[in-house]
Amino acid sequence: RKEVEQDPGPFNVPEGATVAFNCTYSNSASQSFFWYRQDCRKEPKLLMSVYSSGNEDGRFTAQLNRASQYISLLIRDSKLSDSATYLCVVNNAGGFKTIFGAGTRLFVKA
C-alpha cells in the first residue's frame, strides 16, 4: 500500500461546481496533515492544514478521519483559478519527514 494515496483524476468541472478530493494514508502514527496546491512547473503552496475537528477556509473545507486514515478536501463554487494539482501531504511522527501524495489534477472550465 502506498504511504499516501490519491485519485489522480483529472477532475473536469464547470465553474461554480463543488468538487471533493480524497486521500488515504498508511501510517497510523502520522501526526500532521495538509493540503497543498501545485500549478504546472511551480512549487507546491500550502493551501490549508487539516485538523481532526475539520476546518474551513473560505470555499475550502478539509476533513480528517483518523480511524479510517482518510483526508478530504471540498472546494465549493469552483473558480477557473482553482485549476491546479492538489497534493495531500502527511507528516510522520516527529514531523521531520513529510510524504506527498501524487496529486489530483483539477480542471475548472468556463
**C-alpha cell belonging to residue 17:** 461546481
Task: Tell the smallest beta-carbon distance from residue 95 to other proteins (Å).
Answer: 4
Helix-strand-coil split of the chain, %, nearest 5: 5, 55, 45
Does 55 participate in binding other proteins (rule CB under 8 A)?
A: no
Does 59 participate in binding other proteins (rule CB under 8 A)?
A: no
- For other proteins, give the closer residue by CB, 41 or 110: 41
Instruction: State how far the Cα of 16 lies from the Cα of 33, in Å rounded to an integer.
Output: 27
Other beta carbons less than 10 A from residue 78's beta carbon: 21
Task: Tell the smallest beta-carbon distance from residue 110 to other proteins (Å).
Answer: 27
Radius of gyration of the chain (CA): 13
Does 60 participate in binding other proteins (rule CB under 8 A)?
A: no
> Which residues contact other proteins (rule: CB under 8 A)?
31-32, 34, 36, 38, 41-46, 49, 87, 89, 91, 94-103
